[in-house]
Amino acid sequence: MEARHRSKNLLVSFFLLWSFLVTPISSLSVTVNDVECVYEYVLYEGDTVSGNYVVVDHDIFWASDHPGIDFTVTSPAGNSVHSQKGTSGDKFEFKAPRAGMYKFCFHNPYSTPETVSFYIHIGHIPNDHDLAKDEHLDPINVKIAELREALESVTAEQKYLKARDTRHRHTNESTRKRVIYYTLAEYLLLACASSLQVFYIRRLFSKSIAYNRV
Amino acid sequence: MAWRSGERIGAVPSLGFLCLITCAQVGEAIWLTIPSSGTKCISEEIQNNIIVLADYYIVEDENAHLHHFCPGRNLRFLPVTSPYGNNLHHNENVMHGQFALTTTEAGNYVACFWTNGQGQEGVGLTVGVDWKIGVAAKDWDSIAKKEKIEGVELELRKLESAVEAVRNNLIYLKDREANMREVSETTNARVVWFSIMSLGVCIVVSIFQLWYLRIYFQKKKLI
């Protein structure tokens, strides 16, 4: 497994990374129409898979808030490792029971498409199982890996905050637009209603309809 | 967000062995499934002056072997649109590609993949995307060679730049929150003023009604 990864790294020289350095991916956004799945490969059993996702609200003027997105994580064996229903965003963390390709799926129960911004990180702390028999585990490497994981959790929290901030901004923008347009519509409606009233009363007193019926 | 619409596709077959080599990279890449006739887009809101590196490849799975034999199948586009709709990167009919750019404006950047609908219907394509921005995109090997550091010192240097990134992100978040608080407060003030004004509009309109009807009835000699 290691030799195959090493040869791949040499060939894809644009992204030379050390074999035990798992750098984070950015928080990407995906538009979920019905079901959208993202796959991520977990190298070692026992790795901590952590991440978060936030439903970034679309700027819908007329409709009310979306009820939420369902989120499930499926292990390579096919069973669901983590699931969350009907939320507008959450953090998750679990220990991978085995290595392999994990599937992270978002399901949108309604027809309006939603954009989900997600971040997945797989953290690995080197331990004795990864090494060959005659290699020693340098404790400083373990400590550096733990430091990196702690820093990673700070970065993950920041990405979550940033996504939540974006969602909040969309809500604010929507509120601002609604205040302006709904108020203008209200004034227009009021003016229309009163002029309709005036016309109706005029009509009641008009001679052509009925000869002074009122 | 503006997704770019499809364009004409050529039919040049590409090297298949690259996808064998680049599939299942060292843990960072995410895989997406593209439906046989459709577009899959990923987007991210990126600030100004940030390095973006992306590497994309078709993943060799049980569906991929079908694509070698159908010449129209292994086609993908990658337009990366900037927030103003400019097409920053474009690649047709490849099985592996990469791009690098430095953002010149802050906003939402979109990368879209789609396949030509020829070949088997209903058979989706799995694409692996390795998307790195900012600190994660730094080329540590060249920095290590240039400054001649290695081992623990290099790791600590990486951690230091990660901490720097955390601090910059915090400052950015703080500015965004300040912006949003201003918008919230103006909206709050507007709600108050517009509500009072609606009461005023109501009173004005009713006075106008009464005045007009009075004039009208006086004209009709009913009062």
What is the tens place of the pLDDT at every residue in B5-54? 333 333 333 333 333 333 333 335 788 887 777 777 788 878 788 888 88
The interface predicted TM-score (ipTM) is 0.71
pTM of the model: 0.75
Three-state secondary structure call for residue B148: coil
Instruction: Indicate the DSSP class of residue A194.
Output: H
A31 and B217 in contact by Cβ < 8 A?
Answer: no
Chain B segment 89-148 residues within 8 A of A by beta carbon are: 98, 126, 130-134, 136, 139-141
User: 3-state DSSP helix/strand/coil percent for chain A, to nearest 5?
Assistant: 40, 30, 35
What does the alpha-carbon distance between residue B152 and residue B160 come to, in Å, rounded to a whole number? 12
Query: Between A17, A43, A158, which is nearest B166 by CB?
Result: A158
Residue B69 has a pLDDT of: 37
B68 pLDDT more than 50: no
Flag the least confident range among A26-30, A87-91, B66-70: B66-70
Q: Is B149 on the interface with A (CB under 8 A)?
A: no
Q: Is B42 on the interface with A (CB under 8 A)?
A: yes
Quote the mean pLDDT of chain A.
80
- Residue A212: band (very low, low, confident or very high) from pLDDT cuts 50, 70, 90: low
B216 pLDDT more than 60: yes
- Decide: residue B215, CB within 10 A, 0-12 exposed, 13-18 middle, 19+ buried: exposed
Q: Is A194 on the interface with B (CB under 8 A)?
A: yes
Question: What are the start-end ranges of the H helices in chain B?
Answer: 17-22, 64-69, 140-147, 152-219
Query: Between A11, A22, A27, which is nearest B27 by CB?
Result: A22
Residue A138 has a pLDDT of: 81
B184 pLDDT more than 90: yes
B33 and A205 in contact by Cβ < 8 A?
Answer: no
| Per-residue pLDDT reduced to its tens digit, A157-205 | 999 998 888 888 888 888 899 999 999 999 999 999 999 999 998 888 8
Quote the mean pLDDT of chain B.
73
Tokens standing for residue A54: 């936030």
A63 pLDDT more than 70: no
Residue B142 vs residue B21, higher pLDDT: B142
Given its phi and psi angles, is residue B141 left (phi above 0), alpha (psi -120 to 50 degrees) or beta?
alpha
Query: Between B32, B173, B220, which is nearest A205 by CB?
Result: B220
Residue B144 vs residue A193, higher pLDDT: A193
A168 and B44 in contact by Cβ < 8 A?
Answer: no
Q: Is B79 on the interface with A (CB under 8 A)?
A: no
B169 and A197 in contact by Cβ < 8 A?
Answer: no
Residue A33 vs residue B8, higher pLDDT: A33
> What is the residue-wise DSSP string for B109-136?
EEEEEE--S-SSTT--EEEEEEEEEGGG
Tell me which chain B residue has its CA closest to the CA of residue A146. B159
